[in-house]
Amino acid sequence: MTPEPDAPDTAKRPKPFDPLALDHQLCFALYAAANRVIRLYRDQLEPLGLTYPQYLTLLVLWERDDLLVGEIGEALSLDSGTLTPLLKRLETAGHIVRTRDAADERRVRITLTKQGRALRAKAVNIPESIACEMGLPLETLVQLKQTLTTLAANPS
Amino acid sequence: MTPEPDAPDTAKRPKPFDPLALDHQLCFALYAAANRVIRLYRDQLEPLGLTYPQYLTLLVLWERDDLLVGEIGEALSLDSGTLTPLLKRLETAGHIVRTRDAADERRVRITLTKQGRALRAKAVNIPESIACEMGLPLETLVQLKQTLTTLAANPS
DNA sequence: GCCTTTTATATTGTGCACAATTTAATCGCT
DNA sequence: AGCGATTAAATTGTGCACAATATAAAAGGC
């Protein structure tokens, strides 16, 4: 099946490397993998009434409550254009409260409600469940996370 | 710095593993890395007047022209709800043409215009440029792509 | 104390991503 | 041929993601 070394010009040759071939794009692999993982989460989060970015926001607040909008934004690399409406939806759902800081009226403090804190118990087994669905050995996943974290952390 | 084995209960202990800590989430590393890489592309694609998903769509068409909407959707794991408006914008920009298939009026064939084909030359050096900006050794990037492709390809 | 600059959040507008539904054409079965 | 089932794309509606801008409050210079 390999072409003869001295085949004539009309014979099949190995294709020249195509830098724009979809299969060669790390960016597409990353994009497709991210979309797929978010889809996996959707199924787990739908019973909790949460979207994936809302879940990430709650992860931040479950670790440290009473944060400014900007602090959440820094943790997730999101700006107020994304976070403001998202936080309003989490407030409408009863998971958080948004309060203007009395000492600095520009700031908005985000605090969990009792309901928001209680939601954590329903989410605690999601990561392991997703890791299973990914169908890759744990060792591979750990190394993958390490590489991705480096990639995400480089100067934006 | 490690706590005494027989330290009293009030002494500092190593924190119990928190499965919901943001720093432990592969999903967040993936989400943040994907967002960052798309931001890197935005700077490169802006002069071409393309968004990142539009660029991916053109990658597919530069490899094989004259595809159905559904075939592009399968290549990119996107549905018509995403692709129909995106393709209409590419058509408005003059890069593609959308034509109802005469033999099967349900189908819409997507073909590149001359302008759409010409755009390829302006995009051909983007992947290498992005790879540099990522700031990771090529070896790492190759392996990362391999792992992500496996992750994205598992049954959805 | 004013006035410019900076900071924190909100708003507006565009473009995905996707679920759910709709429309219309083709297929399959009798 | 007739008709229910399937298929392909479009439409509708929600929720990000982000650029650009707006609003308003605080900080800093003079």
pLDDT (tens digit, 9 = 90+) per residue, A132-154?
A: 999 899 999 999 999 999 998 86
Q: For A76, which residue in chain B has the nearest alpha carbon? A: B32
Q: Is the pLDDT of residue A11 over 80?
A: no
Residue B100 lies in a domain: yes
Residues 77-96, chain A, touching B (beta carbon < 8 A): 77
Residue A92 lies in a domain: yes
Give, as one character, the DSSP assignment of residue A64.
S
Sheet holding A67-68: strands in order across?
Answer: A67-68, A108-112, A96-100
Residue B138 lies in a domain: no
Looking at the DSSP bridge assignments, the partners of residue A97 are A111
Q: Does A140 touch chain B (CB under 8 A)?
A: yes
Neighbours of A33 (CB within 10 A): 26
The mean pLDDT of chain A is 91
Indicate yes or no: CB of A124 within 8 angstroms of CB of B19.
yes
B59 φ/ψ angles, rounded to the nearest 5 degrees: -55, -45
Task: Please give the helix or strand (H or E) that residue B42 lies within, else none.
Answer: helix B26-45
Q: Is beta strand B96-100 parallel, antiparallel or unpaired with respect to B108-112? A: antiparallel
Domain count, chain A: 1
**Which CATH number goes with the domain that contains A80?**
1.10.10.10
Residue B152 lies in a domain: no
Partners of residue B150 in chain A, C-beta under 8 Å? 136
Whether any strand D atom is under 7 angstroms from the Cβ of A113: the reply reads no
Q: Is the pLDDT of residue A1 over 50?
A: no
Residue B34 lies in a domain: yes
Confidence at residue B17, expressed as pLDDT on a 0 to 100 scale: 84
Q: Classify each residue of B120-154 as buried b or exposed e, where b means 16 or more C-beta atoms within 10 Å of its C-beta.
A: eeebeebbeebbeebeeeeeeeeebbebbbbbbee
- pLDDT tens, A121-133? 999 999 999 999 9
Confidence at residue B29, expressed as pLDDT on a 0 to 100 scale: 97
Residue B147 lies in a domain: no
Domain span holding position A45: 24-149
Partners of residue A56 in chain B, C-beta under 8 Å? 22, 28, 31
Task: Please give the helix or strand (H or E) that residue B54 lies within, else none.
Answer: helix B52-63
Q: Is the pLDDT of residue A92 over 80?
A: yes
Residue in this structure with the two tokens 């070394």, named with its chain if needed: A5
CA distance, residue A108 to nearest chain B CA (Å) = 22
pLDDT along chain B (156 residues), means of 10: 52 76 95 96 96 98 98 97 98 97 96 98 95 92 95 73
Residue A62 lies in a domain: yes
Confidence at residue A18, expressed as pLDDT on a 0 to 100 scale: 83
Q: What gap in Å lies between CA B99 and CA A117, rounded to an integer?
A: 53
- pLDDT tens, A56-89? 999 999 999 999 999 999 999 999 999 999 999 9
A22, A29, A120 ranked by CB distance to B148: nearest: A29
